Structure 1
Amino acid sequence: MTEPTPMRVAPTFELTAAERAEIRALLDTAFEGDFADLDWEHALGGAHALVRDRNGLLLAHGSVVQRRVLHADRSYRAGYVEAVAVRADHRRRGLGHRVMAALEHVIDAAHDFGALSASDAGAALYAARGWQVWPGRLTALGPHGPLPLPEEEGAAYVRPAAGHPLPTPAHPLAFDWREGDLL
């Protein structure tokens, strides 16, 4: 493997159309065609971490977007991690950890806590970095009121931001509504 260049973290608005297309292509390949347009939409509007090799080839990506989460009558700014992927031929070389370290820095600087929904393949990475499975209930604030998300329980991970405690599992985390996958 060619030595990767330093991490670049950039907000969505600073990414060129070519960069956005390159990221989307990486995600489509990494998720083997199971990365929908709404998944892409969920990854936009926040900060993106990108790792390239010395020749400019995109090797890894992840983003963190702000989501509002209600918990015990309080509204939190959660840094929600989306679209973490590493090229198949560069996996198990620490690139996912580099991406997550950059995203965790954003969470520590701008959010109350971090949250994500882990795939089976990604769960070990998040657990190794200290993310914890949320042990409580999950809901989404739908157009007609709270919508329970029991199928997401056990796959939702949280991480406190620097200087902030995690919410307690005595009350559900109620995520803001969005089209497509709610978590």
Structure 2
Amino acid sequence: MTDRVTDLPDLLHTAHTYQLPPAVLGEIRAMLDTAFDGDFGDEDWAHGLGGMHAFVRDRHGIAAHGSLIMRRALHAGRSYRVGYVEAVAVRADRRRQGLGGQVMAALEAVIDGAYDLGALSASDDGAGLYRARGWRLWRGRIETLGPAGPEHLPDEEDSAYLRPAGAAPLPEPAAGALVFDWRDGDVL
């Protein structure tokens, strides 16, 4: 005899923020709070809303999550439509089981179909996942168009990763700064 609850497979879901009921958003937020050991604030949560979510649900609830929002970045006289990855985490008991890769594959499919390029800011713990998936560390200057004009973000220059969308080439650091749109909290 099998136990139907424990035999349920992990289920990958994708949905836009507006399609997720408050209870599911609450589950996602609770998992992120726990996964980031309490270092996931309201601004971090807000940054991950308003776009696509990919999440894995197992018999214990939300096991992994990532979201993709649209941002703009300027570089060498061009404005890029950027699929920006936010709020990626895997519950502690499910890490190193491929769930982060499943979430990223779903988000990368959206990047390939809807954006000029993908971007994200990686933690030291997460950088290996992104590098293994073909994301490339941006080796140039990072700026933002802040309320008072352009602002240099030197602390982001060792954690910003880009991914080409389809066959599109990535911007070249030698051609100048990558300038992201402004937002409250962490800009990247």
The answer to whether TM tops 0.5 is yes
Q: Percent of pairs identical after alignment?
A: 63
Q: Structure 2 residue aligned with 1:121, among 120, 125, 128?
A: 125
The Cα of 1:2 is off from its aligned counterpart by 5.5
CA pair 31-2 structure 1, distance change in 2 beyond 3 A: farther
How far the C-alpha of 1:3 sits from its partner, in A, is 5.7
Query: 1:144 deviation in Å?
Result: 1.1
Establish whether residue 30 from structure 1 lines up as the match of residue 64 from structure 2.
Answer: no
- Residue in structure 1 matched with residue 25 of structure 2 by the alignment: 20
Task: For residue 56 of structure 1, report the CA deviation from its aligned partner.
Answer: 6.3
Paired residues of 1:66 and 1:77 also in contact (CA < 8 A): yes
> SS state of the match for residue 7, structure 1?
strand
Aligned residues: 182
The 3-state SS of whatever aligns with 2:113 is helix
Work out whether residues 45 and 87 of structure 2, in 8 Å CA contact, stay in contact via their aligned partners in 1.
yes
- Is residue 153 of structure 2 the alignment partner of residue 149 of structure 1? yes
Q: Which runs of 5+ in 2 are unaligned?
A: 1-5
CA root-mean-square deviation: 1.2
Partner of residue 177, structure 1: 182
User: Do the aligned residues in 2 keep the contact of 1:4 with 1:51 (CA within 8 Å)?
Assistant: no
Q: How far apart, CA to CA, are the structure 2 residues paired with 1:163 and 1:48?
A: 24
Larger radius of gyration: 2
Does the 8 Å contact 1:67/1:175 carry over to 2?
yes
Q: Structure 1 length normalisation: TM-score?
A: 0.96
Partner of 1:10: 15
Equivalent residue number for residue 103 of structure 1: 107
Whole-Å separation in 1 of the counterparts to 2:9 and 2:102:
11
